[in-house]
Amino acid sequence: MKTPVAEPLDVRVGVWLLVWLARLLTGVQVRWMAPLSNVRQRIYLANHTSHLDALVVWGALPQALRRMTRPVAARDYWDADPVRRYLAQRVFRAVLIDRSREHRQSDPLRDMLDALDEGLSLILFPEGTRGPGEAIAPFRPGLYRLARARADMELLPVHLANLSRILPKGSIVPTPLLSRVTFGAPIRLEPGESPDSFLERARRAVEALADA
């Protein structure tokens, strides 16, 4: 595991500002439905409805866990202009992955595995894109391949409520309603479990937290 290095001032200030801005804007209530295991490294699986999602999950984590947790984000969006590039690469240190198969320069699975091998945790949005916030879309098969490559890795379902109403797809101005983030009990890929049943089970684990 990597030894923590003191972060530069602009990163620390940037993180603090963004986490508090997100908290103010989303009035987020954090709930833990199961005690956290002693293992510190895990993959957080969250539903995806807004650009605030990664920031909200990240900001809800205890500080010690937050430092070792990186959101997995789309390169086509977060590498598009200098501001987003600065935020993604320097502040959140996101693991940027190429979504489109055609123009791919690196393998998303490889990028995620590399981060895990460094001892980092990941925040993953297995729907692959932001949804309208009503139903959770089927999870992408990449999650299965990731879970199979690291079968002992803990997968923690996370449900984000109301963020789609705060900053829906296509809006620039947020409405500061109240949101809620719920962390569930960990799941793992069972031996011999088929991709479809595993992906559906993971999706339902996230979905079930909505009414928990």
Residues that bind another protein (CB under 8 A): 27, 29, 132, 162, 164-165, 168, 171, 173-178
Helix (H) or strand (E) holding 163: helix 163-166
Residue-wise DSSP of 148-161: HHTTT-EEEEEEEE
Contacts for 102 with CB less than 8 Å, ≥ 6 apart: none
Which one, 17 or 178, has the nearer CB to another protein? Answer: 178
Which one, 14 or 168, has the nearer CB to another protein? Answer: 168
Which one, 165 or 201, has the nearer CB to another protein? Answer: 165
Minimal distance, residue 184 CB to another protein, in Å? 20
Minimal distance, residue 151 CB to another protein, in Å? 39
Minimal distance, residue 185 CB to another protein, in Å? 23
Which one, 128 or 168, has the nearer CB to another protein? Answer: 168
Minimal distance, residue 174 CB to another protein, in Å? 7
Query: How many other CB atoms are found less than 10 A from the CB of residue 52?
Result: 22
Beta-bridge mates of residue 75: none
Minimal distance, residue 28 CB to another protein, in Å? 11
Question: Are the C-beta atoms of 61 and 15 separated by less than 8 Å?
Answer: no
Residue-wise DSSP of 185-205: --B-PPTT--HHHHHHHHHHH
Exposure on the CB side of residue 38, measured as CA atoms within 13 A? 0
Which one, 29 or 194, has the nearer CB to another protein? Answer: 29
